[in-house]
Amino acid sequence: MNNKIQAVLDLFAELNKVPRQSKHEEKISKWLVEWAEKHGLKAERDESMNVLIHAPATPGYENKPTVVIQGHMDMVCEKIAGSNHDFSKDPIKCIVDGEWLKADGTTLGADDGIALAMGMLLATDKDVVHPPLELLFTIDEETGLTGANTLKPGWLKGKILLNIDTEDEGVFTIGCAGGRDTKIEMSYTPAEIPAAYKVYDLRVWGLYGGHSGVDINLPRGNSNIIAARFLDEFLRNAKMQIVCINGGSAHNAIPRETNVRFASDKDITAQFNALKEKIFGEIGYAETGMKIDLTPAENKGLKGLSLEDSKKFTGIMMAMPHGVAAMSKDIEGLPETSNNFATIKTTENTVAILSSQRSSVESRLDWLSRKIEGIAVAAGAKTATSDGYPSWEPNMESALNKKCVEIYTKLFGNAPKVEIIHAGLECGIIGSKNEGMDMVSFGPTIKNPHTPDERLEIATVGKVWDFCVELLKELSL
């Protein structure tokens, strides 16, 4: 491992000591400002806690166009079953495993902490020749692109933006889908569970999950959908009441685990075993770690949804779309429109579903969102859809992209791939607030983001570093 790779990973390890769960960026935002001041750099922080660090140009290059290096400071916080890790205070432990960097039973946070580490070192390494730099580190990208959405026009002076949030080295992204979230909420009056009913805990777990933009077209299961199928099957054979149900963790993570406590007037073990066998027959080849457990529980003064409300909510779950709704007509193999049936949450008197829709075609995004709203309305539930974020329309004539392709090919002897992706990036929002911005997204290879299996390919950190150094040098000429 060369010194520059080690320096980037050392900075990344320091970042991983600071809590940075989405919507809880207070500590990391403050830490970044303190880091900048410690290194003699001017730092600003807006009302949303976005951080903008100004790095002066290498002497002699002060009049060159300012370059923005951008990434998001928050991370998806997922952990393996049984882990006691507390993301609000415990550091992420980085482990070198051969050619990869991973974490100890949690998400690694390379998405997108590696962008911060890369930008910070580029701004302070005396060997790097660069024009004036603005390091823009945003909050809450993972759960709503809140930081990018709240940026004030004019805060950035640079018109060249390097977003380090693409997860395949050798790929330059120049466009992405837009998206929005829909919340469905059904109120209920807690109903007594009859003393004669049998109570069970259903657990669907061990699924791969994954990023709902990157992995939505893969043959992976959704624990919420699997749980819904069991509840529907039980209702066909018995009187069944849901006591509580919770599944999934984030709007952009395919659900890996769902837990349901329910009560039934009959023994439903036979129905459970029969459906379990069918589900493993359908997706067991792809979900090799999947587990589906049913265990008896005590019936002591329990309350939950009534039989009718249980039927309604199960119906909503069964109707919820998940996966690719349409493929791109222009780019082979690219999802155009999709939905992630993301989370289910139970409170004392409500059950709520969150779904996340994506599309590069605005009319189809509208259609899919309204379809989901229609499911809620038909069941008498409340629904609310967010404003979302715009797609990033590709500029096929981008001077920056042409320069990136030229430099990459010169450095590594092969041309990079240039693509448009289904996942959401902040570039669309940032570009809409800064007219004339030329943007490209790239980054080192990260596998299984948004899961505890997240890992970073160490060698690709070096390639991205070498590319950035040469690009900044060229932009300074």
**What residues are annotated to the active site?**
74, 141
Do the beta carbons of residue 49 and residue 139 sit within 8 Å?
yes
Give start and end residues of each alpha helix (H) in 204-268. Answer: 223-235
Q: Which of 373, 91, 295, 323 is nearest to 221 (CA)?
A: 323
Partners of residue 69 on adjacent β-strands: 135, 162
* Dihedrals phi, psi of 425, to nearest 5 degrees: -125, 160
Q: Tell me, what amino acid is at 356?
A: S
Helix H, strand E, coil C: the string for 409-475 is HHHHCCCCEEEEECCCCCHHHHHHHCCCCEEEECCCCEECCCCCCCEEEHHHHHHHHHHHHHHHHHH
CA distance 455 to 98: 11
Q: Which of 218, 242, 215 is nearest to 317 (CA)?
A: 242
CA distance 136 to 275: 50
CA distance 256 to 471: 39
Angle between helices 307-319 and 223-235 (to 10 degrees): 140
Which string of b and e fits 228-245 if b means at least 16 CB within 10 Å?
A: bbbbbbbbeebebbbbbb
Which single residue is written with the structure tokens 């791939």? 417
Q: Which of 379, 384, 388, 419 is nearest to 401 (CA)?
A: 419
Q: How far is CA 457 from CA 117, 187, 242, in A?
A: 15, 46, 44
Contacts of residue 210, Cβ cutoff 8 Å, sequence gap at least 6: 216, 218, 220, 253, 254, 448, 449, 450, 451
| Strand intervals (E) in 25-177 | 42-45, 51-55, 67-72, 94-97, 100-103, 133-138, 160-163, 171-176
CA distance 19 to 453: 19
Do the beta carbons of residue 52 and residue 43 sit within 8 Å?
yes
